[in-house]
């Protein structure tokens, strides 16, 4: 019976990798714990109750902590590395096009300051996907 729970744990783990939402990870952990318990407990009803209890506890307490931690790390990633830093304009930056260089990386750039010519230094204010929004220094 333990192998059924172990396979369920693997399925939930694969689902978490395909749909990273910190949701299926809780079920995966619960299934692996129940797989260990099923070596000693043979009653299916008891195992289902243990699985349900562990899943609910981890959904209520563990998931919010994991989601908060990953949200903070995603927020500080780009902001800490690029926002507020000085970059060099490679191709003139306008509100529709432009390229900047920072840390030897090329980024698409936009500005609301009119046209910023090549060779100018700019400060990165924010980003949207792969486009940095800059202003003149």
Query: With a threshold of 0.85, does the pTM exceed it?
Result: no
Indicate the number of domains in the chain: 2
The parent domain of residue 91 ranges over 86-136
Same domain, 56 and 108: no
Q: Quick one: pLDDT at residue 26?
A: 87
pLDDT in tens, the chain (137 residues): 888 999 999 999 999 888 877 788 889 999 999 999 999 999 999 999 999 999 999 888 877 776 666 554 444 556 668 888 999 999 999 999 999 999 889 999 999 888 999 999 999 998 887 889 999 98
Same domain, 69 and 97: no
Tell me the two tokens of residue 63: 């998931």
Q: Quick one: pLDDT at residue 99?
A: 95
Q: Quick one: pLDDT at residue 13?
A: 92
Same domain, 74 and 92: no
Q: Quick one: pLDDT at residue 31?
A: 95
Same domain, 67 and 32: yes
Return the C-alpha torsion angle 82, 84, 124, 128, nearest 10. Answer: 60
C-alpha to C-alpha distance for 5 and 83, rounded to whole angstroms: 46
Same domain, 8 and 56: yes
Q: Quick one: pLDDT at residue 72?
A: 47
In the 3-class helix/strand/coil scheme, how is the chain assigned residue by residue? CHHHHHHHHHHHHHHHHHCCCCCHHHHHHHHHHHHHHCCCCCCHHHHHHHHHHHHHHHHHHHHHHHHHHHHHHHHHHHHHHCCCCEEEEEECECCCCCEEEECCEEEEEECCCCCECCCCEEEEEEEECCEEEEEEC
Q: Quick one: pLDDT at residue 54?
A: 93
Sign of CA dihedral 94, 131, 71, 21: positive
Q: Quick one: pLDDT at residue 69?
A: 62
Same domain, 42 and 101: no
């Amino acid at each position: 019976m333990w192998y059924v729970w172990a396979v369920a744990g693997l399925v939930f783990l694969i689902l978490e990798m395909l749909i990273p939402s910190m949701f299926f990870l809780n079920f995966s952990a619960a299934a692996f714990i129940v797989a260990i318990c099923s070596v000693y407990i043979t009653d299916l009803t008891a195992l289902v109750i243990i699985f349900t209890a562990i899943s609910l506890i981890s959904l209520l307490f563990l998931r919010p902590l994991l989601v908060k931690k990953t949200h903070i790390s995603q927020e500080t990633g780009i902001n800490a590395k690029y926002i507020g830093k000085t970059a060099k304009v490679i191709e003139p930056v306008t509100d529709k096009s432009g390229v900047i260089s920072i840390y030897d990386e090329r980024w698409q750039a936009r500005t609301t300051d009119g046209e910023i010519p090549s060779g100018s230094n700019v400060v990165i204010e924010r980003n949207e996907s792969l486009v940095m929004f800059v202003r003149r220094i």
